[in-house]
A and B are shown apart, each in its own frame.
Chain A
Amino acid sequence: MSVDTLSAPPGRTRSRWTSLPSLWRQTPLSFRIGLIVLVAHLLVAATGQFWAPYGFSQMGTGRPLSGMSWTHPFGVDQLGRDIFSRVVHGSHIVILLSLSGTLLGLIVGAVLGLLSGYVGGWIDEVLQRFLEALISIPFLVLALIAIAAAGPELAGNPVLIVLVVALVYAPRIARMARSVAVDIATRDHVTVARLRGESAWSVMRRELLPNATSVLLVEFALRAGYAPVLIGSLGFLGFGLRPPTPEWGLMISENRALIIVTPITVLGPGLALASLVVGLNLFTEGLARILGRTVKLGVQ
């Protein structure tokens, strides 16, 4: 006898998502804090353009390098631009680039990994060695190589940034997806599909993917939490978006010379970046715990 047999009376329908307040109370604390921070960021990203006090490239909003004040909470830079407005304007850029880059990496990585794990044999071997080679190159170095290879015409293009994030993440996600696929592929329901003569693509879509969602979701959230840092680093090094785009990493880079005079011009964007990363990470940690609790992996 196991607890399972008792906890799943046959007549029950899925009512897990019906009562939100009780659901909220059951979630881990980190999940709740993370969610609140994330929702705040998303609100700013969605609505910021309408209420930001100044435009992101509007000059002469105040005395340059005048420091913190009620009208300029994050100070004013050398060109007289209001840093707070630039941070608000930049919010949706950072979030959009991070999420779409990670999402692309997730899709490519999941498909590669699941197929590789299911098909096995020499295809799997070759693909895995190739992905390992990619993973062995440090994050930033790989990103810089990719940007250099893309050539100067594409430099600073948001699409390139998205592709670079995807390139960095896809091999790592693929390895995770592969290990899940290897586990699921031995289960009998996959054998049943194989006996039916289903193609590898169909088996991946119908049998593997639905059972790998929890792992992939956690993987996505984890990677998304680090993506703003990667994009920020690229911006800081001058390989990201072009000025005057209010990308946070770029802003930190632009104002780093002013750190002695008005430290808030660097701290402002840094604070925004840090809170986004911390929020994402708390959220994903909580999510991982919730999914880990409700989803059985392997043989229970």
Chain B
Amino acid sequence: MDAKPVISVEGLSVSYRQGAGFTRVVEDVTFAVAPGEVFGLVGESGCGKSTIALQMLGYRPPAMRTDAGAINFEDRNLLALDRSGLDRVRGARVAFVPQNPTTALNPGIRVGSQIDEILAAHGADAAAARVDRTLELFGLVGLPAKPEFLRRYPHQLSGGQQQRVCIAMALACDPAFVVLDEPTTGLDVTTQEQIVALLIDLRARLKMSMLYVTHDLGLLSQIADRVGVMYAGRMVEIAPTAELFTDPKHPYTRGLIGSIPRIEDRSGLPARPLRGLLQRHELPKGCPFAPRCDWATPECFEERQELEPAGPSREVACWRWHEIAVPADARAVSQAPEVDHPDRLLAIDKVTVTYGSGRGAFVAIRDISLDIGKGETFALVGESGSGKSTLARAVAGLIAPAEGTIALAGKPLAGLVRQRTPEERRLIQFVFQNPDASLNPRARIAKALARPLAFFFGHASEARVQAALADVRLDGKYAARFPDELSGGERQRVAIARGLVAEPSLLLCDEILSALDVSVQASILALLQRLKAERGVAMLFISHDLAVVRMLADRVCVLFRGDIMEIGRRDQVFSAPFHPYTHSLLEAVPAPLKPNAHKGGASNEAANAPSDKGCAYAGRCAWQIGEICTKERPPWRETDQGLRIRCHHSLDELTSLATWPNATDIDDGRAAQ
């Protein structure tokens, strides 16, 4: 960094009030962001990254206390500014893009007026000039720059459009520095890709400095120039992005990079997960990461290491960084054994599910037929709104199909759960996305596990509960705890255990990894793979994360707007020929150091309304042929290996159009180093 930094954080320490005392959440953090630079801040939940982001806006919640340090921005210390001083800086010079646009926008105010508020607060422009500026901003972020659009309310916009409004709001006064706090976490893959492309584009055009806070390292590799890795409130490594991925120095960074499920990885093996969890109350005196570190020596526990230079523009806080030279990503590439022609367990035959009735009815899934074998892991993939959760809910009996039948082991199931027999209910178990909501907060873990045992088998013994906990690798002592005393990953393990104690033949897993941190995801993924091998339970695994699906699934079905686009064995789905939609999903997966294949900030969210005629994907399809796509239902095309694709293109054409995977070369090249 030659130029004077835009903003610099020096020796920042922050505490939160906890009970009677204070808990240190950020400890002596120092870094600077150069003009035009995107600095990524990454770490697991609770590492203090969002706290730093808020401090850079001078935001101090009542329960937060700044113990030491300074944040220098334009010759001012943001931490020393009073309220009116902050009001002049915030929004105008430093701006913020929040994680969840749905709650960040005021639902009762039109989006145009919300941007107008910022402009009015920071400038004395005339009303007409402000409207022009708002239109200009909307054009900048890829929203329709039309006066009608300004008059829309937030709920009339999609999630991606809402986030674009938030970004426009942040850019309104040409700030010198923008803080983005997990801006794409709540969005699905294709929308996330568009927002990231927009940010990259804006950065190139406006030469803006940004702090990008996320837990997703893969994403940072695309947008950040430098990355700071945080652990337990301390900065453990700062490095230019490319170097961080090819040559991570700190053991924690290695673990994080090793935890990312790679879409190119065909091994089916889980990534090298980080051991254990961040346990704030039992941090050692020395390096906070020592208890989870493979290389820790006794002195690591005793003596604190400060950041020290480790090469040009690199800093790392580790005693042993120069000694440890094991490649971060040494995964064996082996073929996962395939299940051959398993007996059919679940048969879904021409199922259509609609919400509502009469003219306002919405068809969530249309005429779906598929079956799942015994012990098979079947993945449903698609963006939000594709109907994958609806299908799982229909299988579980939460919503009755309007047409078609669902049969378990040859016997047709009643539409609704209360019409099914106890045995049928026992054989299908559901694991939900959010473990916070799926466990009763007022029931101890033992009670949550004992209830299905007592309900289905008539008795629940202490030993059975202990065995259930052991099955998901949790200590027996957890039985006496309440859910809020467990971490997110532990709660999800309990939720899985609760499903398994009923001894089901089919486990419905609805996005069970997406609410968890990357490193926790990797360990749950390893658990699922083990359970799959040991218990022989079939899984309907719903996910938008293709990398995870590739590791776990035997067969994959790609859904779009309630229609099956492609269905087949995992390896066939992940290789040419692709359905155009599958191809776009694969392209959208952020992976470390994937070359950017994005095309500007063009918005393709405005797809055609689904109709009975034509292909559901027509209108968004990059390989569209023409009229035929919107007029006629595409035919099923089947390869010799049994992969079925629904498209007007012939299989040969689809093979020749495919450009994915384009990142494999880089990956192989790096592995060879």
Quick one: which of A9, A197, A206, A207 contacts B422, CB cutoff 8 A? A197
B417→A207 contact, CB < 8 A: no
- Asked whether, in the complex, the Cβ of B455 is within 8 Å of the Cβ of A196, the reply is yes
Interface residue? B158 (CB, 8 A): no
Count of chain A residues with a beta carbon within 8 Å of a chain B beta carbon:
33
Whole-angstrom distance between the Cβ of A15 and the nearest chain B Cβ: 10
Is A132 an interface position by the 8 A CB rule?
Answer: no
Complex interface: chain A residues within 8 A of B418 (CB): 197
Residues of A within 8 A of B451 (CB): 193, 196, 206
Besides A3-B63, A189-B439, 16 more A-B contacts (Cβ < 8 Å) are A3-B16, A5-B45, A5-B46, A6-B23, A7-B18, A7-B23, A22-B20, A188-B432, A188-B437, A189-B438, A196-B455, A197-B418, A197-B425, A206-B443, A210-B440, A211-B442
**Which residues from chain B contact A242 at a C-beta distance below 8 Å?**
none
Q: Is A198's beta carbon under 8 Å from chain B?
A: yes
State A9–B490 Cα separation when bound (angstroms): 12
Contact partners of B455 in chain A: CB under 8 A: 196-198
B13 to A: closest C-beta gap in Å = 15
Interface residues of B in 453-479 (CB under 8 A from A): 455-456
- Contact across chains for A192 and B438 when beta carbons are under 8 A apart: yes
Nearest residue in A to B439 (C-beta to C-beta)? A189
Given known pairs A1-B47, A7-B18, A11-B279, the reply for A191 and B398 (CB within 8 Å) is yes
> When the two chains form their complex, are residues A196 and B425 in contact, meaning their CB atoms are under 8 A apart?
yes
Whether, in the assembled complex, A63 has its beta carbon less than 8 Å from a beta carbon of chain B, the answer is no
Number of interface residues of B (CB under 8 A): 53
Instruction: Jot down 19 A-B pairs with beta carbons below 8 A, ordered by A.
Output: A1-B47, A6-B23, A8-B485, A10-B277, A10-B485, A10-B487, A11-B279, A13-B480, A187-B438, A189-B438, A189-B440, A191-B438, A192-B498, A195-B397, A195-B428, A196-B452, A196-B456, A197-B455, A299-B437
Verify A195–B490 contact, CB threshold 8 A.
Answer: no
Known: A11-B281, A12-B485, A194-B417. Contact between A1 and B437, CB under 8 A?
Answer: no
On whether the beta carbons of A192 and B482 are closer than 8 Å, the reply is: no
Determine the main DSSP class of B at the interface with A.
Answer: mixed
Q: Does B309 contact A (CB under 8 A)?
A: no
Given A1-B47, A187-B437, A211-B442; A6-B25 close (CB under 8 Å): yes
Residue of B nearest to A15 (CB): B19
Which of B48-56, B67-75, B566-574 is near enough to bind chain A? B48-56
Docked-complex contact A1 and B48, CB < 8 angstroms: yes
Q: Smallest CB-CB separation from A9: which chain B residue?
A: B281
Kindly state the separation between the CA atoms of A207 and B439 in the bound complex, as whole angstroms. Answer: 10
Supposing A1-B47, A197-B417, A210-B442 touch, asked if A191 and B485 sit within 8 A by C-beta, the answer is no
Q: Mark A127-164, 1 if CB is under 8 A from B, else 0.
A: 00000000000000000000000000000000000000
**Given contacts A10-B490, A196-B425, is CB(A191)–CB(B430) below 8 Å?**
yes
* B668 CB contacts on chain A under 8 angstroms: none
Whether the pair B50, A1 counts as a contact (CB closer than 8 A) is yes
For A12, the closest partner residue in chain B by CB is B485
Q: Which of A10, A198, A296 contacts B486 (CB 8 A)?
A: A10
Question: Do A195 and B430 touch (CB < 8 A)?
Answer: yes
**B51 contact set on A, CB distance < 8 A:** 1
Query: B46 contacts A1, CB within 8 Å?
Result: yes
Closest to B213 in A: A1
Contact A191 to B432, CB < 8 A, known contacts A1-B46, A6-B280, A207-B440: yes
Q: What B residues does A13 contact at CB under 8 A?
A: 480-481, 485
A9:B430 contact, CB within 8 angstroms: no
